[in-house]
Structure 1
Amino acid sequence: MSFVLVYGSEAILPYELKVKPTRVHLVGGTDQELPRIDDLNVIKEACEVALVREATYQQALRRLYEKTVKKRSFKVGNLILRLIQSNVGKNKVSSKWEGPYHIVGSPRPGAYYLEKDDIAYSNTWNLVQLRRSYP
């Protein structure tokens, strides 16, 4: 009765178990445990370095954004222009803005209720779609 021991993708024959060629010495045993633990530690350290680099990149990106973006807001009673949403009947020389509108209220930052000629609109308008109007 003969048997074949399979280790990984290679087969170890019974006579190799008695003779122990170099292939068997290099593959098997507890000698491989320490290098494998070292490899795992190196991988963990590389992951930690990557996390630190990602955090510093995110902080630099946030600082750049805060430096370049101008924060703006409107107060109740300001005159503003509203972006025209529809392209029907527009040509290249027609205005992109309509108004002026008065700001009536603000339910949350960046959203505003508008009024024109004492007619209040029930929907809110985002800050991106509004622009200050100077009389």
Structure 2
Amino acid sequence: MILDALKKRMYRENDKAPRRWLKELPAMVWGLRTQPSHDTSISPYFMVYGAEAVLPADIAFRSARVENFDKGKANEVRELEVNSAKEKWLDSCVRTAKYLAVLRRYYNRNVKERFFVVGDLVLKWKTNQAGVHKLATPWEGPFMIKEVTRPTSYRLAHLDSTDVPNSWHIDKLRRFYA
């Protein structure tokens, strides 16, 4: 997020000031820390300090928040904010849990559980692809599953029963249909 914000702020045609990002970084970090999160609807600043930050623009342009500040009621308002901070924090925890549940559902909808049994034919991902044409297949084989070492790890053998060194994770294997 920081890099994305810096790139948007830094890009200027024909300007090559390599260290300008150092001057822009504090403003970017401040902006990200005081901006409410989409997931929790609360800013990271609020999560740490229990109150929203007074931005420099609020002071410069005399916002309603700054104009209505009363030193006498400040302690009372601060006490009320401290009491409501835990409630807002718990609310943000609930929102985060809902957001993560949506992400989990989306991920699991597109993932199909795979497994192999001894004797299945598989293709193995080529570990060294140096000098291979970009349109060539990245898979080699077929190989036979010799042993299941873990639920997602397998030992392979060539079709002539010679062993392939090492175990192979299921992410590096693909079913071979003869």
TM-score after normalising by structure 1: 0.71
> How large is the RMSD of aligned CA atoms in angstroms?
1.8
Alignment of 1:1-135 (within 5 A): 26-27=71-72, 34-116=76-158, 117-135=160-178
Aligned equivalents of 2:103 and 2:135: distance in 1?
A: 38
Contact 2:129 2:138 in 1 (8 A): no
Segments of structure 1 that go 5 or more residues without pairing to the other structure are: 1-25
Q: Tell me, what secondary structure is at the counterpart of 2:129? A: coil
Q: Give the structure, 1 or 2, with the largest relative contact order (CA under 8 Å, sep 6 or more).
A: 1
Q: Offset of 1:33 from its aligned partner?
A: 5.1
Specify the code of the residue in structure 2 equivalent to 1:113: R
Q: Tell me, what secondary structure is at the counterpart of 2:113? A: coil
Q: Tell me, what secondary structure is at the counterpart of 2:96? A: helix
Q: Tell me, what secondary structure is at the counterpart of 1:85? A: coil
Specify the code of the residue in structure 2 equivalent to 1:121: V
Q: Report which of the two structures shows the higher radius of gyration computed on alpha carbons.
A: 1
Cα distance change on mapping 1:41 and 1:115 into 2, 3 Å:
same
Q: How many residues align?
A: 107
Give the number of the structure whose residues are more often helix, by fraction: 2
Q: Offset of 1:32 from its aligned partner?
A: 6.0
**Percent of aligned pairs with the same amino acid:** 36
Q: Offset of 1:76 from its aligned partner?
A: 0.8
Q: Tell me, what secondary structure is at the counterpart of 1:131? A: strand
Segments of structure 2 that go 5 or more residues without pairing to the other structure are: 1-70
Aligned equivalents of 2:106 and 2:124: distance in 1?
A: 29
Cα distance change on mapping 1:86 and 1:118 into 2, 3 Å:
same
TM-score after normalising by structure 2: 0.55
Give the number of the structure whose residues are more often strand, by fraction: 1
